């Protein structure tokens, strides 16, 4: 690993191709190209052979080169910026009202495997979770609807 390679990028550069061949059967085929494209963008992020901006000091003529970023949500650095911008944008659009935050997760095993291979059913699962809260204990007590 050269001194400029970040650990996550190093892992993907050296292990993704072999690992992908072993796990791609777990992902729906229509996501394969998207996954591959996002990992490729991540691996190329900051690579000056793909383009860069150069900054030159007017006093000492020192040149600093910065490779273009990938702007992918998957990238550990660009994804952070993407998420922060998304959150700021969302904050501008939402009303300042009381809310309840609930997290639903799936247990490991059959349930998680089922939804992993039938991702289109996740929308129905989210609706069912909302309905169970809406008509359950939390919303009637708070008047939230």
**4-34 pLDDT per residue, tens:** 678 889 999 999 999 999 999 988 899 999 9
pLDDT the model gives residue 144? 52
How confident is residue 138, by pLDDT bands cut at 50, 70 and 90? low
Contacts 24+ apart (CB under 8 A), 64-73: 69/45, 70/41, 70/42, 70/44, 70/45, 70/46, 71/41, 72/38, 72/41, 72/42, 72/45, 73/38
* Domain ranges for the chain: 1-94, 98-145
Structure-token pair, residue 28: 């729906």
Among candidate residues 77, 91, 106, 73, the one with its CA nearest the CA of residue 9: 77
pTM for this model (two decimals): 0.58
69, HSE (Cβ side, Cα atoms, 13 Å): 12
């Amino acid at each position: 690993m050269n001194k400029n390679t970040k650990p996550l990028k190093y892992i993907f550069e050296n292990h993704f191709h072999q690992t992908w061949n072993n796990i791609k059967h777990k992902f729906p085929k229509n996501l394969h190209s998207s996954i591959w494209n996002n990992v490729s963008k991540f691996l190329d992020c900051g690579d000056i052979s793909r383009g860069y901006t150069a900054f030159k000091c007017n006093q000492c003529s020192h040149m600093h080169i910065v490779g273009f970023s990938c702007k992918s949500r998957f990238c550990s650095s660009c994804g952070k910026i993407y998420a922060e911008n998304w959150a700021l944008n969302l904050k501008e659009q939402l009303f300042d009202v009381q809310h309840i935050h609930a997290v639903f997760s799936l247990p490991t095993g059959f349930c998680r495997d089922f939804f992993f291979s039938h991702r289109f059913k996740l929308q129905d699962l989210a609706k069912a979770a909302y309905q169970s809260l809406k008509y359950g204990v939390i919303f009637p007590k708070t008047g939230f609807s």
